Structure 1
Amino acid sequence: MPEVEREDLGSKRRYVIRRPEGEAELTLSVLSPDQVIADHTYVPGALRGQGLAEALLDALLADARAQGFTIVPLCPFVAGQARRHPEWAPLFSR
């Protein structure tokens, strides 16, 4: 499992995996302590196909469970994964 770091930047937050080839990231906008918007996931071409986007999302989901916030899935990747995993429904809001 790749090491995922979380960066809190005021009303913004991101989960990042750093590699020599670049950074994979999932960015968030913090609406309140109870809700965030997952607005963008990016994995550089050289790093695609290694499960990095899934690892970033796993870190976000773990934090949502532990801290009790919900996720608005604006990002197409996050929204698609939410649709594929109905068991995650309690972690998502619309």
Structure 2
Amino acid sequence: MRDNRAEQEFELTVDGYRAVAAYQREGDRIVFTHTHVPKPIEGHGVAARLVRAALDSARDEGLKVVAQCSYVRAYIDRHPEYRDLLG
């Protein structure tokens, strides 16, 4: 997983396909706007790996998370250990 700050996307490449979790930084907050996983690699846990790494990065940087993306919101709902990041 790579944080491509120039594009404001966390990226994960699997089998030559690029999945992204797009975001916008706003001071001490990170707003996740959408997640995209190409169809050929859907259903293999790629989005979960990507979002988990992105949330861990936000925690490491002391950022609060705004989950505009429905997938990020659902991930946090399923993993209560990340709820403290919401803000």
TM-score > 0.5 by shorter chain? yes
SS in 2 for 1:49: coil
Unaligned runs of 5+ in 2: none
Give the alignment's TM-score, normalised by structure 1: 0.83
For 2:18, which of 15, 23, 31 is the aligned residue? 23
The amino acid of 2:53's aligned partner reads: A
How many percent identity over aligned positions? Answer: 26
Q: Does 1:73 align with 2:67?
A: yes
How many aligned positions are there?
Answer: 87
Unaligned runs of 5+ in 1: none
1:63 Cα deviation after fit: 1.0
Alignment map for 1:1-94 (pairs within 5 Å): 4-9=1-6, 13-32=8-27, 34-93=28-87
In 2, are the aligned partners of 1:21 and 1:46 still within 8 Å (CA)?
A: no
Give the alignment's TM-score, normalised by structure 2: 0.89
1:21 Cα deviation after fit: 4.6
SS in 2 for 1:87: helix
In 2, are the aligned partners of 1:21 and 1:47 still within 8 Å (CA)?
A: no
Measured against aligned partners, the alpha-carbon deviations of 1:4-33 in whole angstroms (never above 9, x if no partner) come to 111002xx521111245521110001111x
**Distance across 2 between alignment mates of 1:19 and 1:84:** 24
80-89 or 39-48: bigger deviation: 80-89
The amino acid of 1:13's aligned partner reads: Q
